Amino acid sequence: MSMDRRSFLVSLALIPPALYWSSALWAAGSASDAFREVSRIITGADNLTPGAAARIEALLTERHAGFAAHLAALHKTLATSTSREAGLSALSGTDLDTALIIAKPWYLGYVGTPSGRILEDDAAFATFLEMQAYAKTGGIIPAQSYPPGPAGWWRDTPRGVDASDLPEGATTWAYQPLKHYTIAAPDPAWHAYAEGRFDSIEAARAALGQEARK
């Protein structure tokens, strides 16, 4: 079941905050201080580090026009709220959009949309250790990782594998060995079979062979 934007913010408001709501939280500071304070309210976590906050703020500022102004407005809105729950639950319009933009990288650990089907996407890493999707369940579920061996396992060639040198210029995962690709014409029988014109590849070959002899 999908969750709409307001329900998501309300659910965040129900997370027990790790900090007390007080005017001291809203002490004057830099833009990064404001971002970290707003992030603490949204996530309910009091242990967000300045480094992760700075990375996320920089990425969002780069990708969302007017983000600094929207952050300042959201900061002011939350500062005038009587409580964390009331502040998050009452957000609307641009304030709501900005809160969700800030929440996403804190919970997922990245901005943008990663893709496993293309070599380059618009995703950018933000944080792993402070990814709140794992931090909230850290005492029960370990953070997701898939190391196939101990530290440094990638240094040695696996047994039985003849690893040739990488081509010159292959310095990133986005490397493509060819500048231009030529797509070969499909086998007519397989093409016809894939289109559902025949029940089997044998029937397709037989039919096309008969047609070729006519």
- Residue 138: half-sphere exposure toward Cβ, Cα within 13 Å: 9
* Residues in the chain, overall count: 214
Domain count, the chain: 2
Confirm if 13 and 89 have CB atoms less than 8 A apart: yes
Whole-number pLDDT of residue 196: 87
The answer as to whether 169 is a domain residue is no
- Domain span at 198: 183-214
Beta partners for residue 111, in sequence order: 124
Instruction: Check whether 23 has a pLDDT greater than 50.
Output: no
pLDDT exceeds 70 at position 66? yes
33 inside domain: yes
Q: Which of 135, 170, 205 represents a domain boundary (last residue)?
A: 135
In a domain, 120, yes or no: yes
Q: What whole-number distance in Å separates Cα of residue 153 and Cα of residue 137?
A: 28
Task: Report the percent of the chain where pLDDT is more than 90.
Answer: 20
| Whether pLDDT at 213 is above 60 | no
Same domain, 131 and 191: no
H or E segment at 211? helix 201-213
- Residue 14 is given by DSSP the state T
* Phi then psi dihedrals of residue 110, to 5 deg: -150, 165
19 with 87, same domain: the answer is: yes
Cβ-contact 5, 96 below 8 angstroms: yes
pLDDT tens digits for range 91-107: 889 999 999 999 999 98
In a domain, 112, yes or no: yes
Q: Domain boundary at 104, 135, 166, which?
A: 135
pLDDT of residue 150: 59
Considering the domain boundaries, does residue 152 fall inside one? no
User: Per the domain annotation, does 143 fall within a domain?
Assistant: no
Distances (CA, A) of 125 to 6, 28, 48: 26, 29, 16
Q: And the tokens for 139?
A: 């005492």
pLDDT at site 18: 47
Q: Are residues 99 and 200 in the same domain?
A: no
Residue 63 and residue 112 in contact, taking contact as beta carbons nearer than 8 Å: yes
What's phi and psi for 124, nearest 5 deg?
A: -135, 130
| Terminal Cα-to-Cα distance of the chain (whole angstroms) | 58
Who's near 52: CB < 8 A, 6+ residues apart?
126, 127, 130
Q: What is the pLDDT of residues 103-151, one digit of tens each?
A: 999 988 888 887 767 667 788 888 887 888 777 666 666 666 555 555 5
At which residue do the structure tokens 């990133």 appear?
172
Write the pLDDT tens digit of every residue in 172-197. 766 777 666 677 788 899 888 888 88
Q: Is residue 159 part of a domain?
A: no
> 115 and 35 in one domain?
yes
Quote the pLDDT of residue 58.
93
Residue 67 forms part of a structural domain: yes
